[in-house]
């Protein structure tokens, strides 16, 4: 009985060693396959084949579900183009316009304040002469005329609506 008990672990150890050797062989085989997949150019070759044929036997499940749809879309839409279409070039401005813009950008820091002051001075002169300008006392008379014309237009529209 003791010998039987002693021999049982030896058989178990032998079985475990055999299983370990099988596992090591399977691991070595998997490592060889992994190294073959990692070989330079393999990924590029597989992807190029996928792009050309839209078929990949070892593809993940969800990619295999989508590939038939991609083949149908390609069949309807045409073949593979070499590259994506280039974006259209923006319209080129004429040289006169470009020169004017560059000249304005150079002169603007000086010209803009001067033109603002000139505008204010001319507006002040118009107000002193009594001509209606954009601001000031002359605009009161102009606004009264504008109100009278708006009132006349509204009365005309109201009478026209009542008659029609």
Query: What pLDDT, on a 0 to 100 scale, did the predictor assign at position 107?
Result: 92
Per-residue confidence in pLDDT tens, the chain, 164 aa: 455 555 566 777 778 788 888 778 887 787 777 666 665 556 677 777 777 788 887 778 888 888 888 888 888 876 555 555 566 777 788 889 989 999 999 999 998 999 899 998 888 887 777 665 555 555 566 677 778 888 888 888 878 777 75
Tokens of 118: 């000139």
* Annotated domain spans of the chain: 2-77, 99-163
pLDDT of residue 1: 45
Q: Which residue has the tokens 């813009």?
A: 101
Q: Where do we find the tokens 């010209």?
A: 111
Count Cβ atoms below 10 Å from residue 136 Cβ, excluding itself.
14
């Amino acid at each position: 009985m003791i010998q039987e008990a002693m021999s049982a672990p030896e058989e178990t150890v032998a079985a475990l060693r055999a299983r370990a050797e099988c596992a090591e062989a399977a691991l070595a085989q998997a490592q060889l396959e992994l190294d073959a997949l990692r070989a330079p150019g393999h990924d590029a070759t597989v992807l190029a084949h996928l792009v050309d044929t839209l078929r990949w036997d070892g593809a993940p499940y969800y990619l295999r579900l989508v590939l038939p749809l991609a083949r149908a879309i390609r069949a309807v839409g045409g073949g593979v183009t070499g590259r994506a279409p280039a974006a259209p070039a923006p319209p080129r401005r004429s040289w006169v316009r470009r020169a004017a813009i560059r000249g304005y950008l150079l002169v603007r820091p000086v010209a803009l304040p001067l033109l603002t002051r000139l505008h204010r001075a001319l507006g002040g002169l118009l107000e002193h002469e009594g001509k209606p300008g954009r601001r000031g006392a002359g605009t009161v008379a102009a606004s009264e005329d504008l109100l009278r014309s708006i009132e006349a237009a509204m009365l005309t529209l109201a009478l026209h609506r009542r008659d029609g």
